[in-house]
Chains A and B, each alone.
Chain A
Amino acid sequence: MSSKDDLQFHDSGGQEDVMFDRSGGQLHTFTSFPHSAVDMDDEEEEGGDKSQLLKEGEKKSLSFWTFEYYQQFFDVETREVFHRIAGSMMPIPNRNYLQQKIRPNPDLYGPFWICMTLVFTTAIAGNLANYLSAGGKDYQWRYDFHKVTFAASAIFTYWWIIPAIMYGLLWWRKSQAGFTFLEILCVYGYSLAIYIPISILWVINVAWFKWSLVVVGACLSGGVLVITFWPALKDDTKKIALVIVSLIFVLHLALAAGFVLYFFHVPPPVSPAVTNTTNTAVPLSSTGKPFAVDMPNMKPQESNRPLAEKPQASNLQADKPGTKEKDVEIKLKGNADKPEKDKKLEQTDNNNARGTNVDSRSKMTQTEN
């Protein structure tokens, strides 16, 4: 230790350096710590519970440029994160989510990873919904990676801009509740947690189900948001308070609706050229899977119906030789009634295969009948 005094060494910055004085060169003495210098309203304030840690010098106002400044936002445990996620989905009128769960230790771990997870589940589920609506066979479908970038922009914008607006609004109305920006960020981040399972359920392509999920999700987490912000607004004039509260709720609902409309939008059926062949296809598709109900006319979708219902298809193939001299779509429809593995060959060899396969099909129907 005496050599330390002589040489005035001090360890250079790093993780293990938390206990040493940062002002360079002096020995750290645990004298009176200027507790009053730490602003209660300040972002990095961790609250009175940790007063013992404060005395040990760990909680000075850390510089923005040190690593430890950011570490304080990640000071949570597994258990706490789970409790916070659960609390964000259950609006209980008497219990303020912020007071109970978030204070005194708002964190950024939960919100950040919830947003990242939501970005990827939305993009993946959106691609999956698209894939299933294209008939389940990927010979014409390509996945869209760029849904990820769009989802990321939308979600992170929502997570940062809306709390900024809220903080500004509360500051403008001189709200006495003392919400810090970090706490608002934290609450908003956790409120997105409910959309993660919902985004997976949105793959099921039933319109009323999707919209009811939107409403349920928005009500639950929007409810928690409203209950959280109400104490900050109730001192205000009734009109302004109601406007702000409804704004919170409407924006939350709009986010969910935006997801459904952008990522999970199933395009309406097009191509009227196949109408005369869809007459035979409709009875097949109406007995198909439930989430395919909205699209009886989608051409590629019909192609996998007969895989499950081949005996019925072969009965209808008696009609096919009569229509074989029509155009290409009918050939494709004719392909649909055949076994899967022949379909690809047929698409490449147009004329020859059509001729031979129609013959083989008519032979097949004769033998089966």
Chain B
Amino acid sequence: MSDVEFHEQGELNDISLEGEITVPGVPSNKDEFSTLDEPVKDTIMRDLKAVGVKFWHVLYPKTSTALLREWDLWGPLILCVFMAMMLQGDTLDQMHDGGPQFAEVFVIYWVGAVVVTLNTKLLGGNISFFQSVCVLGYCVCPLSIALIICRCILIAKVQTTVLFIIRFVAVVVGFGWSTFASTAFLAESQPPNRKVLAMYPIFLFYFVISWLIISHTHS
């Protein structure tokens, strides 16, 4: 309501009614030129930079508000598509691979993030829906790195117990990192007597993704 201006009757004749409906809290750039005319490269680079900054914040989690303030869903989408492609079971083989299909990983990821977010909000957290989905999606980044490591290890033809232990440790580290990063961002939004209740589903979500990663042993 602070952005609606009241003009006296005399003034109305002189100046045209104008004003900006801005969202309180976001700094309004008065001199921001229209982005329709800029080259496409600028647009893409700006978005990529934003996504990159957020990945950086996830990998080095401090309690910063960058993820929360300017949320976007590009990063989660990139991570989800990457993971779903890597984790899908191979149906070209003779023996039907019991691994998840692309769509199943996709659904687990997004429906999981939505359900965890709904849970946080139902418990009374004061965080917006998309902010929470954004944070949960971005915090899968350490697990994606663990997936890349596992995939590299799986290139070796012979799988020994030692290699399995390395994979296991990589996934556990990724899981711990993801959970810690998302806790750093999401913990303050809950009242203290419900923190565990809000954190447990996040833990379960990343646990399931870790299980998908560690179980994936392509032929």
Which residues does A use to contact B, with CB under 8 Å? 9, 15, 67, 70-71, 73-74, 76-79, 81, 109, 113, 116-117, 120, 124, 127, 138-139, 142-146, 340-341, 344
Contacts and interface: CB of A to CB of B under 8 A. Distances in A.
B123 A74 contact: yes
9 contacts: A71-B124, A77-B193, A116-B201, A127-B215, A142-B95, A142-B217, A143-B98, A143-B217, A145-B100
B24 to A, nearest CB: 14
Nearest to A112: B119
B159 interface: yes
B138 to A, nearest CB: 23
Interface of B: 1, 89, 95, 97-100, 104, 119, 121-124, 126, 157-160, 193-197, 200-201, 204, 207-208, 211-212, 215, 217
Given A116-B204, A145-B215, 20 more contacts: A9-B1, A15-B126, A71-B124, A77-B193, A78-B193, A81-B197, A109-B123, A113-B200, A117-B204, A142-B95, A142-B97, A142-B217, A143-B98, A143-B99, A143-B217, A145-B99, A146-B98, A341-B158, A341-B160, A344-B157
Contacts of A109: 119, 122-123, 197
A146 B99 CA distance: 8
A70 B126 CA distance: 16
B203 to A, nearest CB: 10
Contacts of A117: 204
A144 B195 contact: no
B217 A138 contact: yes
A247 to B, nearest CB: 32
A113 B201 contact: yes
B58 to A, nearest CB: 24
A120 B204 contact: yes
Contacts of B123: 74, 109
Contact of A120 (B119, B159, B207): B207
Given A71-B124, A109-B123, A117-B204, A138 B159 contact: yes
B129 to A, nearest CB: 10
A138 B161 CA distance: 10
A73 to B, nearest CB: 8
B158 A344 contact: yes
Contacts of A81: 197
A74 B217 contact: no
Contacts of A79: 193
Top 6 nearest A-B pairs (CB, nearest first) are: A144-B98, A74-B122, A145-B100, A143-B215, A78-B196, A77-B193
Contacts of A344: 157-158
A142 B197 CA distance: 34
A46 to B, nearest CB: 15
Contact of B89 (A74, A138, A145): A145
A81 B123 CA distance: 13
A71 B1 CA distance: 28
A142 B157 contact: no
Contacts of A74: 119, 122-124
Nearest to B88: A145
Contact of A113 (B1, B204, B207): B204
A124 B211 contact: yes
A91 B159 CA distance: 48
Contacts of B158: 340-341, 344
Nearest to A143: B215
A76 B197 contact: yes
Contacts of B1: 9
Contacts of B97: 142
B68 to A, nearest CB: 16
A76 B217 CA distance: 41
Given A79-B193, A117-B204, A70 B122 contact: yes
B99 A142 contact: yes
Most buried by A among B100, B201, B212, B215: B215
Contacts of B217: 138, 142-143
Contact of B122 (A71, A143, A341): A71
A78 B204 contact: no
A127 B215 CA distance: 9
B169 to A, nearest CB: 17
Contacts of A120: 204, 207-208, 211
A78 B197 contact: yes
A73 B197 CA distance: 14
Nearest to B207: A120
A77 B204 contact: no
B201 to A, nearest CB: 6
Contacts of B89: 142, 145
Contacts of B157: 344
B193 A142 contact: no
Contacts of A78: 193-197
